[in-house]
Structure 1
Amino acid sequence: MADFESPTEIPKFITFLSSLLQRVAESNNVILSLQSQKLSVFHGLTRPSISIQSYMERIFKYANCSPSCYIVAYVYLDRFTQRQPTLPINFFNVHRLLITSVMVAVKFMDDVYYNNACYAKVGGISTTEMNFLEVDFLFGLGFHLNVTPTTFYKYCSYLEKEMMMLQPKINMSESSLYMGISSKLHLSFSEDESSHHQQQQLAV
């Protein structure tokens, strides 16, 4: 296994994405407490002790992938929740969904990336479980992995607006997600995305 490189500074958008997922999980946990829920391979028997933010910071430090992968992972999570309405993001599945979505995004976006065993170690799970999670996530997405530049920009714009609403004093040079990340986007993607959803279900 290759040695991980550990960036020292956590970008603000990573912190914000963590906060967004925290809000989604909290909201869904309230709903799920009032009704029965469907279990899946992403569902843990207990709630992980590590916070969503700490978990995402760990992924960022050790996954060594391009920043655009986190935006694409967010797109995938949105698509997954739309296609699998009986499997909403909550505190029992968010960690597994997060590590899986990032790994799938990295494989689609980056030319060089770590293997499943490395991501399993980063995520704190076994390689066998990581393999199962990847397969289930891909089927849950319907293998809809393509992200057009237009879609990428829309998600960046949405996240940037949310960031500015919550933290209006952020320097624009630090918060401009699209300008800072889009250089890593593969512009060879097809501009025609047949099933793009205008409504972003992860927003709360």
Structure 2
Amino acid sequence: MSYQTLTTEAQAGTIPLRHPDSIIDRPPPPPVPSTDPQLIADDSPSAPKAADHDLFKMAPSEALALLIAGVELLVRITGDVPPTPPPKSPTVPHMSGMQAEKENIVRSYSDRSLARLRKQAELEAKRLAAKESKPEFQESQDIDGVRLKPHPGLMSPPPQSEPYVVVGADSQPVNLQHSAITRKFYSKNEPPITINQYLQRLHQFCPMSTAVYLATSLYIHRLAVEERAIPVTRRNAHRLVLAGLRVAMKALEDLSYPHAKMAKVGGVSEAELARLEISFCFLVGFELVVGESRLQKHYELLKDKTSRYRCDNMEVPILTLKPRPRGAVQPAA
């Protein structure tokens, strides 16, 4: 029966009307979840936990992508920061001017020099020896009403002088040492290869594990963000990443690539790679061993920061309308 036929019959009154209280047209009662017999009550409900990403099942390529994103994010935030200039000191060729260079060195702790302390110790020893050679008489003392007889030559033992300990008297200040270490990672000009291309090259010829990539990202994040020991720029990011990967591989893995191969793939000499490793170890304070919990926290932080930065810096396409030339006749529809 069609809709028009039903409408016509309803208007004509041929379709019988049903009573509103009839059982056939009454809807079922609304459900009550608390009365469900299959319901299981939980007295201590816990909040749903987000599924943690298993680091042991993560592919190295995924960890490499996070490392690339983290380093590029630090580079964009920091910008181009020049290195600290070296201290202005006269350059003396060869070893003939060593004495002149020593004379120009300013001692920050001249009052604690070893020679002056030795002279003071000798004068103190002479004074004590002269004092011991002269006999002295102690004044009589009364002990419980009994006066003791004084004895000549009896004197109290001389006080023992504490040993002189000179720590870092001739060392450089900490800021000069730190500046000298950080300058080793800077290049004069910006490298022609990007961070992404550089790390992809390292991964192609010297592939590493997931833990090495995440640990390197953790090292650099700790130096640049937490401790602010060195800014990550386009002129030092390549050497920082290379040294971090090399150090992390030696600290976390049983086997590592030969030194010559790593230097060749990284584009530096073997001596420079060795200097970068040592400098990187001093920057991180030789705190190289990291556990699973720290890597997991850094993974979550890195993933959140990179995704948030991508959303904040997402470019929205702008609609541009080309101006219509004057005198142009719009075609009729």
Summarize the Cα distance change of 1:11–1:48 in structure 2 as closer, same or farther, 3 Å threshold: same
- 2:203 corresponds in structure 1 to 60
Shift of 1:41: 0.3
- 1:105 corresponds in structure 2 to 248
Shift of 1:82: 5.3
Q: Distance in 2 between matches of 1:36 and 1:128?
A: 23
Q: Which has the higher contact order (CA 8 A, sep 6+)?
A: 1
- 2:274 corresponds in structure 1 to 131
Summarize the Cα distance change of 1:166–1:13 in structure 2 as closer, same or farther, 3 Å threshold: farther
Q: Distance in 1 between matches of 2:237 and 2:203?
A: 16
Q: Over residues 13-56 of structure 1, what are the superposed CA-to-partner deviations in whole Å (9 max), with x where a residue is unaligned? A: 423421321221122125x37x9676610000111000000011
What is the 5 A alignment of 1:6-155?
Answer: 11-29=61-79, 32=81, 40-81=183-224, 85-155=228-298
Q: Distance in 2 between matches of 1:88 and 1:160?
A: 21
Q: Residue 299 of structure 2 aligns to a residue in which SS?
A: helix
Q: Distance in 2 between matches of 1:78 and 1:117?
A: 27
Q: Give the counterpart letter for 1:64 in structure 2.
A: P
Shift of 1:97: 0.3
Q: Distance in 1 between matches of 2:221 and 2:70?
A: 12
Shift of 1:75: 1.2
TM normalised by structure 1 equals 0.67
Summarize the Cα distance change of 1:103–1:151 in structure 2 as closer, same or farther, 3 Å threshold: same
Q: Distance in 2 between matches of 1:88 and 1:74?
A: 14
Shift of 1:133: 0.3
- Whether the aligned pair in 2 keeps the contact of 1:18 and 1:53 (CA below 8 Å) is yes
Shift of 1:81: 2.7
- Whether the aligned pair in 1 keeps the contact of 2:60 and 2:208 (CA below 8 Å) is no
Q: Residue 20 of structure 1 aligns to a residue in which SS?
A: helix
Q: Residue 41 of structure 1 aligns to a residue in which SS?
A: helix
- Whether the aligned pair in 2 keeps the contact of 1:83 and 1:141 (CA below 8 Å) is no
Q: Which runs of 5+ in 2 are unaligned?
A: 1-58, 86-178, 312-333
Summarize the Cα distance change of 1:52–1:17 in structure 2 as closer, same or farther, 3 Å threshold: same
- Whether the aligned pair in 1 keeps the contact of 2:69 and 2:306 (CA below 8 Å) is no
Q: Give the counterpart letter for 1:44 in structure 2.
A: S
- Whether the aligned pair in 2 keeps the contact of 1:63 and 1:119 (CA below 8 Å) is yes
TM normalised by structure 2 equals 0.43
Q: Distance in 2 between matches of 1:109 and 1:165?
A: 30
Percent of counterpart pairs with the same letter? 25
- Whether the aligned pair in 2 keeps the contact of 1:69 and 1:109 (CA below 8 Å) is yes
The structure with the greater share of residues assigned to helix is: 1
Q: Give the counterpart letter for 1:151 in structure 2.
A: R
Which protein has the larger Cα radius of gyration, Structure 1 or Structure 2?
A: 2
Shift of 1:132: 0.3
Q: Distance in 2 between matches of 1:42 and 1:67?
A: 24
Q: Which runs of 5+ in 1 are unaligned?
A: 1-8, 169-204
- Whether the aligned pair in 2 keeps the contact of 1:69 and 1:102 (CA below 8 Å) is yes
Q: Distance in 1 between matches of 2:227 and 2:300?
A: 25
Q: RMSD between aligned alpha carbons?
A: 2.7
